[in-house]
Amino acid sequence: MDENMKPHQRTRRIMVGAAPVGGGAPVAVQSMLNAPADDVAANLAQIEALAEAGCEIVRMAIPRRACLDAFEAVCAASPLPVVADIHFDATIAIEAARRGAAKLRINPGNIGGLEATRDVIEAAREAGIPIRIGVNAGSLDDAIAERQDLTLPEKLVASARQYVRFFEDECRFFDLAVSAKAHDVQTTIDTYRLLAAELPEVPLHIGVTEAGTAFQGIIKSAAGLGVLLEEGIGDTMRISLTDDPVVEVRACWTLLGALDLRRRAPELISCPTCGRCQVDLIGLAREVEEHLASVQKPVKVAVMGCVVNGPGEAADADIGVACGAGSGVVFSHGKIVRKVNESDIVPALLEELENL
């Protein structure tokens, strides 16, 4: 294997529905549904919103066997592949595989142990779908959790390694992905670095779990996942927030775009305000940002407060504005296109964006 290959290029390719994960495929963006598990219409409506935002894989919890009918109906009508998220009950996982799941997400540690997963593995094999082994800091096997000679990242990796070897060596099942999540940023980074080194062939689902509400959660996730993605670690990702799942998806794309890994939506470049600014730059930038939320062009749009910062410092922007006293000059790639009044800045930017 080429030593210059990044970790995500060395992993096996698995397919989650039509979405490729691993083997050098672009990092796939995921989120999780939070509508009631027995409400088909609500879950499908949420999936439609997530698909519009750029989500590529959705996960749906199945907390009770009574929810399996709803899960089957959602899978049948969903435009996105649906992953079944199951805890505690192996029977639900087996049924989910039979009823249209594109992938199963289980934690062998809380689904009855390794022996209980044998039938789950066979159900996935028969359905031709992969399994994500999800290990969490809060639900480690007791034998590993009690070890004093291991750090938390080492415990997480030991648990994941044990499960992977069982799936591969004893059950000959290789259609796998692994996640090992913690709410601490450094633990997350250390854990996934170890996983990439010790299980280089297994695709990794990365995320900081229980990261918090949007403000804190996005910062924690960007800090942890940004490091990993820059190192080439991670084949699919979720930014977990206590918020609308659509916000998770937008945050994923913004992070991927900031790292120049994948671009789907515009990037807003805007300068901090200072005493030279003679327009309501904060309000202007927010208004532009709101309009850009519905635009699906991988372009750079700059909103600069004065001639000091623009267009020179935003010369690489596809389109932008540099503001003066109640007015602004619209520019493209550093060249001035026209001058407009402050009230016309946003319409002018959008008009020029349409022409790109």
Q: Calculate the alpha carbon distances from 190 to 180, 208, 297 in Å.
A: 11, 12, 35
Collapsing DSSP to helix, strand or coil, 280 comes out as: coil
Least confident segment among 125-129, 188-192, 201-205, 265-269: 265-269
Q: Judge whether residue 1 has pLDDT over 60.
A: no
Q: Tell me the mean pLDDT in the region 217-237.
A: 96
pLDDT for 219-228, tens place per residue? 999 999 999 9
**To the nearest whole number, what is the mean pLDDT of the chain?**
90
Residue 66 tokens, joined: 């009574």
Q: Tell me the residue type at 302.
A: A
What radius of gyration do the chain's Cα atoms show?
23
* pLDDT number for residue 309: 61
Phi, psi of 304 (to 5 degrees): -110, 140
CB 320 within 8 A of CB 269: yes
* pLDDT number for residue 307: 64
pLDDT for 262-284, tens place per residue? 988 888 888 887 777 777 888 88
Q: Judge whether residue 11 has pLDDT over 60.
A: yes
Name the percent of the chain lying above pLDDT 90. Answer: 61
